[in-house]
Amino acid sequence: MKVAVLRGGRSSEHEVSLRSGAAVGEGLWKAGHEVLDVVIAREGAWSHEGEQVTIEPAAGLLGCDAAFPVLHGPGGEDGSVQGALEVADIPYVGSDVEASAVCLDKLVFKRVLASHGLPQVGFFDAVPARGPAGWRESAADLGLPLWAKPARLGSSVGISKVDSLDGLESAVEQARRHDPKVIVEASGPGAEVECSLLGHSEPIASAPGEIVANADWYDYEAKYDAGGMELRVPAAISEAASERVRELALEVFALCGCSGLGRCDFFVDGETVLVNELNTIPGFTETSVYAKLLEEGGIPYPELCDRLVGFAIEKHADARSYEF
């Protein structure tokens, strides 16, 4: 098929997206597809082979059979590009508008999990109306250390570790430079464990992998610099905890209405498993955790890219089967 790979984007994860998208394009080419490289500049312009690209309602994109968004953060992973592709009537890889928006916004995501009683770390919304005094009151209930984060970014951008209540206000303001919505979370105990998800109507969960960061915490450099982290597969957790990780990953994937791909992250301490987040467009290079976990399960990278395009066509057909 002819597949348009969308990469770049307007968020602070632009460079990561360029790398992920280039890897996806190569994987699709190896799987036998024709690849159309669509680069989204930081200012938002779309181009293919140096020429401007426009999307018209119900008119498709460059004559492609499907689109493969490999965009991280706002403007790509939040449902906005998915909405544009819906309007253009283009099958696309990954979750729909609603699921993308829910999963990118950590506050919304955690409230959805809380409403269904799923286990997770404590958190609060650092809403400006409460001010520093209100934040400190909530923080004291959670205990230290804490993590102040932009609610709708990934790749650890804008995150600060809070070791004392005196540093809470500056950490919140640092996060607010990236996003007006800020979440403050309790520290997750135990190992950081990740599980890859693949599929549409019958998704599968990979064996869990354990992240061992060669730093104080799993920050941007640990994620993307060579030697910044080690991925251990399988994770050094009990069989019962491993099964619980996979069970919860599939439950969260379904609960949020996700499709195609996702990576669910956890904290595992003994037999206690806490959900951290679900990424609907995780890092996607051949060495990224998402692809490596599935490769360990017997799915090589080109096959993974090929399967995802197939799931996009399936999802599109399902959506069009309903009467609006």
263 an active-site residue? yes
296 an active-site residue? no
224 an active-site residue? yes
For the stretch 70-82, pLDDT in tens is 999 888 999 999 9
How far is residue 224 CA from its own chain's centroid?
15
247 an active-site residue? no
Of the listed 8, 10, 12, 13, which one is catalytic?
A: 13
For the stretch 58-114, pLDDT in tens is 999 999 999 999 999 888 999 999 999 999 999 999 999 999 999 999 999 999 999
For the stretch 14-73, pLDDT in tens is 999 999 999 999 999 999 999 999 999 999 999 999 999 988 899 999 999 999 999 998
Label residue 229 by pLDDT band (50, 70, 90): confident
Of the listed 100, 259, 279, 288, which one is catalytic?
A: 279
Answer yes or no: is pLDDT of 213 > 60: yes
Answer yes or no: is pLDDT of 216 > 80: no
Of the listed 194, 263, 288, 306, which one is catalytic?
A: 263
Of the listed 77, 277, 295, 306, which one is catalytic?
A: 277
For the stretch 166-197, pLDDT in tens is 999 999 999 999 899 999 999 999 999 999 99
Cα gap 37→42, rounded to integer Å = 16
Of the listed 27, 158, 188, 283, which one is catalytic?
A: 283
Q: Which domains does the chain have, with CATH numbers?
A: 2-93 (3.40.50.20), 103-117+189-315 (3.30.470.20), 123-186 (3.30.1490.20)
Of the listed 11, 12, 20, 155, which one is catalytic?
A: 155
For the stretch 276-308, pLDDT in tens is 999 999 999 888 999 999 999 999 999 999 999
322 an active-site residue? no
Answer yes or no: is pLDDT of 156 > 90: no
Cα gap 270→241, rounded to integer Å = 7
| Whole-number pLDDT of residue 215 | 57
155 an active-site residue? yes
pTM of the full structure: 0.93
